[in-house]
Amino acid sequence: MPRAASQAGADRGQRRTSLQQERSRATKRMLVQAAMALWRTNGYAETTVADICTAAGVSKALFYFYFPRKEDVLFEVGVMSTRSARRTAEALLDKPYEVASVVAAALVDLERSMARNPPELIIAAILEGYRHEHRILAGQEPVEDEEDTGGMFTALFERAQRDGTLPRHVDVAHLAYLAHTLVSEGARHWAAGAFGDRSFAEVVGADIGAVIAGVSRGKP
């Protein structure tokens, strides 16, 4: 086969794969959006898989192709929110930045997303995220990549270390994990009303700032 024809075939295959992946993501988003609309109206416990399928106009077989359990949709809700916040943070790294400002912007984005949902749905999504993590640690589910697990600040901390803002001795992967844990616990407490008049971004931003300051002062 001529080289040009072979390359053209490969390009068509890549385009076909990309199109299929985009359709798959669109279907998954549609199912999540249908589920969230029902949960906001009827509550999570009262909404069945059949209800979600009817609202989305799909079969149960298609639903279970993407989500083995209803709880997996709940986990995806949390993933979508943290993914948006991470992209907000990463977009700010294209220009001069301050770590605290980038963290604050990401947290504001996440708080805005959470505010659209009932508190009990936020708490349920966070608890399902913990159960999901425990299943991974127990070897019951495969380890996912960062795009799905929502490492909100990994790129920020890596960039800050390269720029010299974070000392070289700081374990940025562990720092990102600590920050993500503070985000999850902060969201749960915020949804439960534990912060009073203080915003989620204010409280959690201060907590993450304290952790960054602490690890930066540590000895190499």
At 2-43, the pLDDT tens digits run 655 555 555 555 666 666 667 778 888 899 999 999 998 998
- Tell me, what's the pLDDT at 26? 87
Q: Are 95 and 157 in contact (CB under 8 A)?
A: no
Q: Check residue 220 and give its pLDDT.
A: 56
**pLDDT at position 143, please?**
61
The three-class DSSP label of residue 192 is: coil
Question: What are the chain's domains?
Answer: 1-67 (1.10.10.60), 68-220 (1.10.357.10)
pLDDT for 57: 93
Element at 172 (helix H, strand E): helix 172-191
pTM: 0.81
pLDDT < 70 positions in the chain: 1-21, 142-150, 218-220
Place of tokens 């106009």: 57
pLDDT at residue 88 in the model: 95
How far apart are alpha carbons 11 and 174 in whole angstroms? 40
